[in-house]
């Protein structure tokens, strides 16, 4: 899906890609879109989506930021891999061992997040080609809200990318 904003921003190289694999909640996606605008990231939505793209909750959460968002909807995550490159993807999972702060992020990297109710599929996280990281949390909290997890990962990646000499 091409949007006017996407066409306007297509010539810009995003410093980061945020990939939502089968997102389920419109309001989370709206908030994540707002975060992407704030950090200069492109948002990828991998179908199926758990909401309609015109959902009022997505619009409300994204407020007037959505028009500034560089975003694309694709049918399969392999379409993202073909553009970004597997060696530029960091997959966030509660099943990962390495902390997201130990990763070395570079401009153009992509952060992959699974759906709110189940996370990334086992077929994805079990692939030796995928670099897995986790956000350390206490066991009493099974996981974080998706929008919060994306913000934590995105701002750490941007912090590293913007370090002098990076």
Instruction: State the binding site for S-adenosyl-L-methionine.
Output: 114, 135, 143
Q: Which of 121, 151, 155, 138 is nearest to 34 (CA)?
A: 151
Residues of each annotated binding site: 114, 135, 143
Angle at which helix 26-39 crosses helix 146-161, to 10 degrees, equals 10
Would the CA dihedral through 97, 111, 125, 20 be positive or negative? positive
Residue 20 corresponds to which tokens in the numbers above? 């939502």
The C-alpha R_g of the chain, in whole angstroms, comes to 15
CA distance 150 to 146: 6
Q: DSSP letter at 49?
A: P
């Amino acid at each position: 899906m091409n949007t006017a904003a996407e066409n306007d921003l297509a010539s810009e190289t995003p410093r980061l890609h945020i990939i939502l694999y089968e997102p389920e909640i419109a309001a989370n996606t709206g908030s994540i879109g707002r975060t992407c605008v704030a950090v200069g990231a492109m948002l990828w939505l991998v179908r199926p989506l758990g909401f309609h793209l015109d959902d009022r909750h997505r619009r409300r959460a994204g407020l007037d930021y959505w028009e500034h968002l560089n975003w694309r909807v694709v049918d399969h995550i392999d379409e993202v891999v073909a553009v970004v490159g597997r060696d530029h993807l960091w997959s966030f999972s509660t099943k990962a061992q390495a902390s997201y702060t130990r990763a070395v992020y570079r401009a153009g990297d992509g952060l992959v997040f699974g759906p709110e109710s189940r996370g990334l599929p086992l077929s994805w996280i079990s692939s030796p080609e995928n670099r897995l990281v986790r956000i350390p949390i206490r066991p009493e909290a099974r996981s974080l809200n998706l929008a919060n997890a994306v913000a934590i990962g995105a701002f750490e990646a941007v912090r590293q990318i913007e370090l002098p000499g990076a």
